[in-house]
Amino acid sequence: MDRLMDWKGRVLRRRYRLDERIAVGRTVEVFRAFDLLEEVEVAVKLPLPHLLSDREFCDAFRSAAHRATRLRHPSMVEVSDYGIEEGRPFVTMEIVEEKTLHELLETRKKMKPVGALYFALEMARLLAYLHEQGVVHGSLDERHVFIFPGRKAKVSDAGFPTLLGAGASPQPLSRDARRDIRGLGYLLYRSMTGKSKAEASQDIKAGRLAWDEQVPVRFRKLVQDCLDSSGGGGFPTSEQLLREVVS
């Protein structure tokens, strides 16, 4: 089956009209769509056609979609509906026009400490909520975070399957909630230092984080504890992370 099929103009379940393909990833494509019932724009996400023969992936996608429709949090991109069209599962989500954290980090612009603290608080609250619901994001990175005006952020794709590497079968990156906490530490470090992904990864791997002088020592420790969480140290739970951020 072709990697992409031209579904522009199709109406899914007699309700969602696919108007424009706006993104293509390693596992999914996303359309700007129109909800003919509610008369609003939405985003529709579908697995790429070549993955439809992968039963494990499709089962994981459907399970994640079903869970996501029950999740409601101000820091989550809302998933409103899911279904199947011609054997192809899909989800409908709120459409987000804001830039991803990845796009902002590409400019090398740094978050100020107060902005980073608000960001850490929002993300800690979200992770605590997700983990309480039994959901691990699994692939928390800069491409899944959208930055809104007024220091607001929203995260997409919690619990959805992703690809681990070239040729690998799509699956959640990790079901260990502590990896989400480590992912937050990585995002905070990049956001506050303006470092590239390669530079930040090298610093973290070497265990030598390079901070600007204006970053408070307490915040540096918070980031380091997040990074240490998946190795048995740091924060064992997102609840403990949240308590530390708000204290």
- State the pLDDT at residue 161: 73
Query: Residue 230: helix, strand or coil by DSSP?
Result: helix
pLDDT digits (tens, 9 = 90+) for 195-239: 999 999 999 999 999 999 999 999 999 999 999 998 888 999 999
Enter the tokens of residue 31: 């359309």
Q: Which residues pair with 85 in a beta bridge?
A: 88
- State the pLDDT at residue 6: 82
pLDDT digits (tens, 9 = 90+) for 76-128: 999 999 999 999 999 999 999 999 999 999 998 899 999 999 999 999 999 99
Enter the tokens of residue 46: 């579908």
Task: Give the pLDDT band (50/70/90) at residue 247.
Answer: confident
Give all strands (DSSP E) within the chain, no chain letters: 11-12, 16-24, 28-35, 40-47, 79-85, 88-93, 145-148, 152-155
Query: Residue 96: helix, strand or coil by DSSP?
Result: coil
pLDDT at residue 5 greater than cutoff 80: no
To the nearest 5 percent, what fractions of the chain are helix, strand and coil? Answer: 40, 20, 40
> Measured between alpha carbons, how far is residue 149 from residues 52, 101, 129 in Å?
38, 12, 23
